[in-house]
Amino acid sequence: MSKIATREAYGKALMKLAQQRDDIVVLDADLSGSTKSGSVKKVKPEVFFNMGIAEGNMMSVAAGLAASGKTVFASSFAMFASGRAFEQIRNSIGYPSLNVKICATHAGLSVGEDGASHQCIEDMALMRVIPGMKVFQPADAIECEQLIETIADIKGPCYVRMSRLATEQVHDESYQYEYGKADVIQEGKDVLIIASGLEVLEAVKASELLKEEGIIPTILNIHTIKPLDEKTIIEMAQKHSIILTAEEHSVIGGLGSAVADCLCRNYPAKLTMIGVQDTFGESGKPAELFDKYEIDARHIAKKVREAYYGNNQTR
């Protein structure tokens, strides 16, 4: 199967939207070749603006354009989009609830050799806490393209977290993205893995490792982190004795925290959080980093085994 990065799908979706609609404007902070937003220049150059290495200013310009009736897509690396421009996003986009889609690529440990300074593992926490901000993380290119087309019709600010790394696809071409609705990748029993982004594929690979032992986990893809599909999470939690979350983000403030908040309020249950454990990343190949920080398929399978056999011993 060919490997495609979600950022590639982002560029493809932007080209479609720019050709179909007159309200679309695309901004980038001098990274359009990497974020793939520059693809818009090929089909409609008059709606693309390179704002230079000035993310705060880009967000302020995006706010002004949105206040004038435009649907604005503002792109940069996750570290710069969410971190460097946080104040402008909060005060100029979030507070007035303007129609800006902040699309951040190169998120998480999978940025690889660029190291801790570029491996943003805090962005979902930062964006989740802004009132009214909707937060997304597609699992693959197929889902990403549909997600981008969907949020163009959602009024108000949105944050989309995408990866640099090209990966295999979790979905096939028949897949239909549904805003705010958790995606059941596979149904199993006893074990529930709630994953997002690149970790959905790692959860699928972990399931293959566990299959020979007769452990078939249910895998739930959370592409919409906020608003969270609490109904499905609660229903699934009630059917499974073991619940794990898996994310390429800090376990503080990300998917794990969102699921824990939901369960604590509605269905208190023990939860194992797989993710970056209150530490920075480092330079290395993505696969090596996933292994070291214990977020790859092998470590997900290990955590499932620990919980599964531990539970069975106490029954």
264/302 same-domain check: yes
Number of domains in the chain: 2
pLDDT the model gives residue 310: 83
**3-class DSSP assignment, residue 69:** coil
Specify the pLDDT at position 311.
64
The CATH number assigned to the domain holding 18 equals 3.40.50.970
Q: Is the dihedral of CA 139, 143, 144, 149 positive or negative?
A: negative
Please choose, from the candidates 125, 143, 217, 152, the residue with its C-alpha nearest in 3D space to the C-alpha of residue 182. Answer: 143
Angle between helices 230-239 and 255-266 (to 10 degrees): 70
Residue 168 resides in a domain: no
Asked if residue 174 belongs to a domain, the reply is no
Q: How far apart are CA 125 and CA 21, in angstroms?
A: 32
Q: Is residue 198 part of a domain?
A: yes
Residue 166 covered by a domain: no
Determine the Cα angle at 95 with ends 182 and 75, to 5°. Answer: 65
Do 79 and 193 share a domain, yes or no? no
Same structural domain, 24 and 117: yes
Specify the amino acid at residue 202: E
pLDDT computed for residue 315 by the predictor: 39
Known active-site residue 288? no
Q: How many CB atoms lie within 10 A of CB 293?
A: 20
Q: Give yes or no: residues 13 and 132 share one domain.
A: yes
Q: Kind and range of the H or E element at 241?
A: strand 240-250
Phi, psi of 17 (to 5 degrees): -65, -40
Cβ distance 193 to 220 under 8 Å? yes
The 10 Å CB-count burial string (b at 16+, else e) for 157-194 is bbbbbbbbbebebbbeeeeebebbebbebeebebbbbb
Q: Which helix (H) or strand (E) holds 259?
A: helix 255-266
Clarify whether residues 200 and 157 are in a common domain.
Answer: no
Say whether both 114 and 242 belong to one domain.
no
Catalytic residue among 8, 46, 55, 149: 55
- Pair (89, 190) in one structural domain: no
Tens digit of pLDDT for each residue in 145-186?
Answer: 999 999 999 999 999 999 999 999 999 999 999 999 999 999
User: What pLDDT digit, counting tens, does each position of 132-148 carry?
Assistant: 999 999 999 999 999 99
**Pair of tokens at residue 311:** 């539970």
Q: Note whether 113 and 231 are same-domain residues.
A: no
Q: Which residues of the chain have pLDDT under 70?
A: 1, 311-315
Question: What is the domain range of residue 305?
Answer: 183-314
How far, in Å, CA of 10 to CA of 161, rounded?
Answer: 11
